[in-house]
Amino acid sequence: MPRRAPNALLKRNRTTTRLVPSTKPRKRPKSSPSVDDAAPKASLGIEIHDNLQRFPHCILLTRVGKFYESYFDQANEVARLLNIKLASRRWDGGTIAFCGFPLQHIDKYLKVLVQQHRRFVALCEEFPRYTAHGVVGFDRRVARVVTPGTLIDESFLNQYENNYLLAVSQAPDARDVGLAWIDVSTGEFYSKPATSDLLRDELARISPREIVLDKSLETQKPPELEHALAEELHCVSYITPSTTNDETRSHTTPRDVDSTKEKREGSGGHVSDATPVDDVTEDEALSPLLAELTTQEVAAINLLTTYLHANLLDHMPKLAMPAREGTAARMQIDSHTIKALEIRESIREGGVKGSLLSVVKRTSTSSGTRLLARWLCSPSTSVTEINARQALVAFFYERDHFRADLVAALAGAEDAGRIVQKFLLGRGDPGDLHAVNSTINVWVALQRRIAQERMYEERDFEADPKGDSNVAHMASKGQRATRVDVQWASFDALLARMSDLQALSNRIGAALKRSDHGKNIPASVEPDDTDSDVPLGSEIPRAGWKLGNNNWTIKPEYSEKLMLLHATLEDLLGRREQLQADLQLRYDAPSLTLRSSPAHGMHVHLSKAKRDRTKISKHKGFVSIAESTTTKCYFYQEWAQLGGQIVETTIAMVAAEREAFELLRMEVNSHAPHLRRNARILDELDVTLAFANLAKEMGFTRPVLTEDPVYDVVNGRHPTVELGLLTSGRVFTPNSVQLAPSSRLHIITGPNMAGKSTLLRQTALIAVLAQTGSFVPADSAQLGIVDKLFSRVGAKDDLFHDRSTFMVEMLETAEILQRATPRSLVIMDEVGRGTTVKDGLAIAFATVHHLVSQNQCRALFATHFHEVTDMLGHSTPKEERGVFSDVGFFCTDVDETEDGHFAYSYRMRPGVNRDSHGLKVAQLAGMPQTAVAVARDALNWLKSRREDPSSNAADLNSLGQTLTAPRSDR
């Protein structure tokens, strides 16, 4: 069998691209023609030139053997961005710039180019050309364009976060917006109608890594769209949407939605391949998937699928139907609030640490963590859905040992959603098949443990039926009731949706050999020795030059063909061993071995040539082909023929294994909807188990959700602050909040650092946790559904957008007053503090007046403008306050001792506290004592004046002159 001989150009590339870091100053090549110069004449150069012309907006990385390389002017940029050596080479009579790096570093450098520098990378792969004599060359074509929103399975892809690509469609001169977004790594695909004024909030909630717009909007966007995109400096791409229905719209039109509905209703057990809606316990017949898509949604989906086709290329999957999100089923949290409440990430840390997500996270799987993050940023507004989740949490809360067993079992589950998506994208390897199989086994083990627990409880119930008050109550009414009917109802609703995939598991288990390392790629085979056109990342075992040393992944028993090939190879390898032993004895050469290599083909090798070559050199059958100081290689026809047979058999086995692997891949793909459904059910199980563990660890209680506009929390706590205090050995001081139609808005006054902002934030976070289905940090809680959550807390400027701190404050306040509804919850802290006292007081009063008279929402309003309480009639009877009769007044205090020490009480009480104790905070911060003394004197003088001190400039000037004198002279 002829060995593969790389052409001269390829061989030269391999020797000149082994780059090492250099400490010398980088020199630009003397001549570096651009891609627009005369086209290269060599085949590799022609392919590179053509690909650069086809993908001018991308950095082109071309695979050449064991390296990815960049040429022409792009090489200068790539070398600079990646901090690798820039080289030069002669090509077609000229000198060009080029650089490169080994294949194994591709993910490392893709992270730099795509995630850090937001550059698009076109990956040009090698595809072997086969003839009867083996591989005679390579075709190179771009198999995929990597962008921030189209990552598949790269090692730097965050397993705990979704990587969304979002398409936005907006008609000219219209407020209607269509959204479509997909996580290519998991296949989760959603669409939603929206309006332009809500677009910024949707971007904050979805948190896309890349946004796609129509090419026509590149030069001029609608003002609302321009404003929303500029807010967070999103990575924005443009493309002209497809006008054909063959590829991009075959699964996106309303007609297809209707046909899917008919299929689902008429097939009984059919599982749709659409992305599941956000709650798997919901009745499938009522799924938002079946809603009519708007024109802008269809346009957004068309835009998204066009973009995917343009960039995924060889890896483009058949897209499932998108799950349609409604606007009424989820709490709307504006972009400011998601950041201010630190729901997903901490403002100070800049990462997950310190956020609500990090504090409540008890999930065991990466996919469960992604679902938890989505729930926290998009809580439900359906009482039915929330109660279903809470019922599961309560179910696990009461069963410590059962909960612990399920958590331990879940820890062994793989990220099935992303693994299935890899197969659908034409990627994946035997290790991923093992992961699918092990995950199915985890699901089976979970179901067995669940059945066992149910059996135990049924047995206990039969022994003492009066032990369950709920069941006894139903039985007293003549209803047939068991523990399964009552306590297991919510759990049954979840598990009833799981599909039985044991047959698929058995099929994979019968085909694959056991793997202790997850991946079954033979370490002895280098990437450039492949005889396959499978793209990088999808390798399966293949023939290397170490004959017979392949780590075969498919069991011989899988097919008769494989059994025959394994038997043939075993016989040939036995003949090789026998031939080697015979030659060693016949020619008295103990160091003789039969080897193969790319350089010498099948050859006889002497490792101690001086000692063992005497008899061999005299035999005409051994032809010397290479020699060194200690070794020598010979061509020997008998071994060449036998080795050729081994190579042919090995290649046949590789092809047979590849064929078996593709069959298994297709089988997994055919079960993809069921695998995804089961994975999503396990995600919800993981999250509810996590909520139960959280409630046990932190002493959370189950809230009662209602449609009434109330908020009644007894001894509520801030989950993040409480955990931080517990870590340092301190105890959190809880507070109660009661908001009702008769007391919708509370004015909160008190000292700095006394817990006003913490109370505001904990009030909002308790509502978020309750509507995700979690228990809450309180002794008891009754909460009315919150449709929109707003916050105006924290002081920050936005210099990039030319906004002062006060301007940011006013923008957020204006948005709240324009959008809050009677079902909303608003928290506002220090409105008006960024301007003069008079202006700030006027703005604070106007804000409260609008919240009470127009928005009529539940709100907490913290302020240091104590005069606001007088303007609202705090000192007058409630019935005489008019429109402000629904306003309550609460405050915090500072406890002072006779020796000058003080402590914050943090406990909220009814009333107004007119002392902000700002000097105490200054002392705590370490302000010099001389400065504190001057400030105290100024404060005492100002307090001694009944009239407004600012009205008498002369008195103020006198005060200033007095304070500048030494204290002994005052």
Burial label, 464 (beta-carbon count in 10 A; 0-12, 13-18, 19+) = exposed
Beta partners for 179?
Answer: 168, 192
Beta partners for 214?
Answer: 239
Q: What is the pLDDT of residue 44?
A: 81
Tokens of 243: 């006008």
Nearest to 88 by CA among 99, 102, 74, 77: 99
Q: Are 72 and 36 in contact (CB under 8 A)?
A: no
User: Could you give the C-alpha distances from 362 to 20, 359, 392, in angstroms and in order?
Assistant: 45, 8, 15
Q: What is the pLDDT of residues 514-570, one digit of tens each?
A: 765 444 333 323 333 333 333 333 344 433 445 555 678 888 988 899 999 999 999
Per residue, the 3-state secondary structure of 556-607, as one string, reads HHHCHHHHHHHHHHHHHHHHHHHHHHHHHHHCCCCCEEEEEECCCEEEEEEC
Residues of the chain with CATH 3.40.50.300: 704-921
Highest CATH level, class, for 8-146 = alpha beta
Q: Are 396 and 694 in contact (CB under 8 A)?
A: no
Convert 618-635 to b/e letters by CB count within 10 Å (16 or more is b).
eeeebeeeeeeeeebbbb
**Residue type at 214 in one-letter notation:** D
pTM of this structure: 0.81
Q: Are 273 and 320 in contact (CB under 8 A)?
A: yes
DSSP codes of every residue in 303-318: HHHHHHHHHHGGGPPP
DSSP helix/strand/coil, 486: helix
Place of tokens 């719209």: 249
Measured between alpha carbons, how far is 791 from 203 in angstroms, rounded to an integer? 17
Place of tokens 């068309």: 302
The DSSP secondary-structure symbol of 880 reads G
Residues of the chain with CATH 3.30.420.110: 164-333
Instruction: Kindly state which CATH superfamily the domain 164-333 is placed in.
Output: MutS, connector domain (3.30.420.110)
Measured between alpha carbons, how far is 317 from 799 in angstroms, rounded to an integer? 43
Residues of the chain with CATH 1.10.1420: 386-501+673-696
Q: What is the pLDDT of residue 166?
A: 95
DSSP codes of every residue in 418-459: HHHHHHHTT---HHHHHHHHHHHHHHHHHHHHHHHHHHHHHH
Q: What is the pLDDT of residue 951?
A: 57
Do strands 887-891 and 858-862 pair parallel, antiparallel, or not at all (unpaired)? Answer: unpaired
Question: Around 736, how many Cα atoms within 13 Å sit in the side-chain half-sphere?
Answer: 10
Measured between alpha carbons, how far is 710 from 782 in angstroms, rounded to an integer? 7
What element of type H or E holds 541?
none
Task: Give the CATH architecture of domain 386-501+673-696.
Answer: Orthogonal Bundle (1.10)
Residues of the chain with CATH 3.40.1170.10: 8-146
Q: What is the pLDDT of residue 289?
A: 44
CATH of 704-921, one of 3.40.50.300, 3.30.750.24, 3.30.420.40, 2.60.40.10: 3.40.50.300
Question: Around 313, how many Cα atoms within 13 Å sit in the side-chain half-sphere?
Answer: 14
DSSP helix/strand/coil, 522: coil
Cβ contacts of residue 591 below 8 Å, gap of 6+? 606, 607, 608, 609, 611, 612
Q: What is the dihedral of CA 888, 892, 898, 903, to 10 degrees?
A: 170
Sign of CA dihedral 620, 621, 622, 624: positive
Beta partners for 125?
Answer: 141
Q: Are 729 and 340 in contact (CB under 8 A)?
A: no
- pLDDT under 50: residue ranges of the chain: 1-33, 35-39, 245-271, 280-291, 470-481, 483-484, 517-545, 797
The neighbour count for residue 493, using CB atoms within 10 Å, is: 16
Q: Are 421 and 317 in contact (CB under 8 A)?
A: yes
